[in-house]
Chain A
Amino acid sequence: MTYLIYFREKIMHTDLTNLYYKAENQTLNQGDLKALNSHLTSLAKRLEAYHFLRENEVIIFQPVANQLEEKYSNIEQAILEQALKDWLTILRYCAWAMLINSQEYLQQNILEGLTDVIKAKEMQSLETVLSQMLNTRLKELLSEEKYALLQPFLIRVENTILPTP
């Protein structure tokens, strides 16, 4: 039982959790079952997108790294590498947050810890350009449907750690 609670709270989607609680008191109505069905269909698509992001990190990031090196040839390689590592981490967390459909997970598990660190480096223009390059690359590689699943999480990241234009 403990494990189930742990699993439910940490891994399950919010919408699925709501149905789980509702089903404890009553049978689910037609609308709930429709929502469950749409949730499961969406989960399959999210899983596909997650697989793609997991398997293609190098394909996604290498051209971004090359462009970045070209644009910021005056900046030390170690600084560029750290920025790329930060965004690799961010994309991994975005992918998982997308899979479990949790903005809260993204906020707590990466953004709260990373936001001040990135802001303190005072490399905001580099971060902004890197984010734009990554976004363009993801749009090129992901289908419209998969990108739409990931996009709310990328927007959350941009709104949290990048300066307002």
Chain B
Amino acid sequence: MINIADLTKEKLPGNYFAPSAYLQGDFEAGMIENRAGNRILALPETLIQSIYATMDQELGQAAGLVLFNCGRWWGKNFYTRFGEEVSKYYRKPVKNLTMIELIQCLKQSWKTHGWGSIDLDISYHHKGFLVITNNNSPFAENAPQTNQPMCYVEAGIFASFFSQISGQNLHCVQTNCESMGAKSNLFIIGLEERLKPVITWVQELQTHEQIMQNLCS
């Protein structure tokens, strides 16, 4: 028989990343913290725009690779902090969360940090790929308009985050970008070797749908 009195003794968690609970600011000190007491860095639009402009000027075509690696590093640290906070709040290690709980936490965390709204499409998992959609990305919004996707930092974060979850060295390539006038930013995650041709297909301006068809055929 189910005993409700026992159930009420357990911790019943809500949404850890709810913005009103997660972000706390001290206006006088000019400081933003999250609910774990970690400092949050606010990225002004001008800074993001300047990063793109400076990297392009200093590094030219290599700028994308450098930003991607910055994202990888950022993603590695993000995963560590995310894991610590989530496991403390839910009182279980991240690896013991169900996939849907983990995805939900990532989605909420992503949104609360102001990086956009993400959705995961796992329908290609049998082929070894994961597709992520991100809407309202501040990186895409402040990137220069070219005919190539520009969210290198996010691609690096996704590559690193999902590598650590899966225990495999995964790569991520962006196929569609809001900065090119697309409705959403689309990313494909998979093994680096298998994603190599995607880079060429993106340069050839193939659509995301064509690329997925090529990959899965």
Q: How far is the CA of A140 from the CA of B161 in the complex (A)?
A: 49
Contact check, A58 vs B5: say whether CB atoms are below 8 A apart: yes
Cross-chain contact B7 with A80 (CB below 8 angstroms): no
Among A14-22, A27-35, A87-95, the stretch that binds chain B is: A87-95
Q: Which chain B residues (27-83) contact chain A, with CB distance < 8 Å?
A: 27-28
SS of A interface (majority) = helix
B28 to A: closest C-beta gap in Å = 6
> Quick check: A112 and B27 within 8 Å, CB to CB?
no
Q: Would you give the 0/1 interface string for B1-43, flagging 1 where the beta carbon is closer than 8 Å to chain A? A: 1111101101011111111110010111000000000000000
Q: Which residues of B contact A61 (CB under 8 A)?
A: 4, 7
Contacts of B15 in A (CB 8 A): 108-110, 112-114
Q: Does B108 contact A (CB under 8 A)?
A: yes
Write the nearest CB–CB distance from A119 to chain B, whole angstroms: 9
Contact, CB under 8 Å: A113 / B21: no
Q: Are B8 and A88 in contact (CB under 8 A)?
A: yes
Find B104's partner among A1, A10, A57, A116 (CB 8 Å cutoff). Answer: A116
Q: Is the beta-carbon distance between B100 and A93 smaller than 8 angstroms? A: no
Q: Cβ of B7 and Cβ of A88 under 8 Å apart? A: yes
Task: Return B97 CB to nearest CB of chain A, in Å.
Answer: 10
**Contact, CB under 8 Å: A65 / B4:** yes
Q: A2-B27, A105-B20 are in contact. Are A85 and B7 (CB under 8 A)?
A: yes
With CB as the reference atom, state the residue of chain A lying closest to B24. A6
B32 → chain A closest CB, angstroms: 12
Q: Is the CB of A113 within 8 A of B4?
A: no
Any chain A CB within 8 A of the CB of B192? no
Q: A113-B104, A117-B100 are in contact. Are A62 and B4 (CB under 8 A)?
A: yes
| A89 with B13: CB separation less than 8 A | yes
A89 to B16, CA, bound (A): 13
**Alpha-carbon gap, A109 to B16, bound state (A):** 8
Q: Which residues of B contact A121 (CB under 8 A)?
A: 100
The range of chain A's interface size is: 20 to 34
- Chain A residues with Cβ below 8 Å from B107 are 116
Known: A10-B20, A117-B100. A112 touches B108 (CB 8 A): yes
Choose from A6, A10, A80, A109 the contact partner of B14 (Cβ within 8 Å). Answer: A109
The chain A residue with its CB closest to the CB of B29 is: A2
Is A65's CB under 8 angstroms from B104's CB?
A: no
A residues less than 8 Å from B1 (CB atoms): 66, 69
Minimum distance in angstroms from B7 CB to a CB of chain A = 6
In the bound assembly, the distance between CA atoms of A105 and B20 in angstroms comes to 8
B101 interfacial contact with A, CB 8 Å: yes
Pair A116/B100 contact, Cβ less than 8 Å: yes
Interface string of B95-122 (1 = CB under 8 A from A): 0001011011101100000000000000
CB distance from B133 to the nearest CB of A (A): 14
Most A C-beta atoms less than 10 A away, residue of B18, B26, B101: B18
A5 near B: Cβ within 8 Å?
yes
Are the C-beta atoms of B4 and A89 separated by less than 8 Å? Answer: no
Q: How far is the CA of A66 from the CA of B2 in the complex (A)?
A: 7
Interface flags for A58-89 (1: CB within 8 Å of B; 0: not) read 10011001101100000001001100110011
Residues of B within 8 A of A (CB): 1-5, 7-8, 10, 12-21, 24, 26-28, 98, 100-101, 103-105, 107-108
11 A-B interface contacts by CB (under 8 A): A2-B28, A9-B20, A57-B8, A61-B4, A69-B1, A85-B10, A85-B12, A105-B20, A109-B15, A113-B18, A120-B100
Q: Nearest 6 A-B pairs (CB), nearest first? A: A113-B15, A109-B18, A120-B100, A89-B12, A61-B4, A65-B2
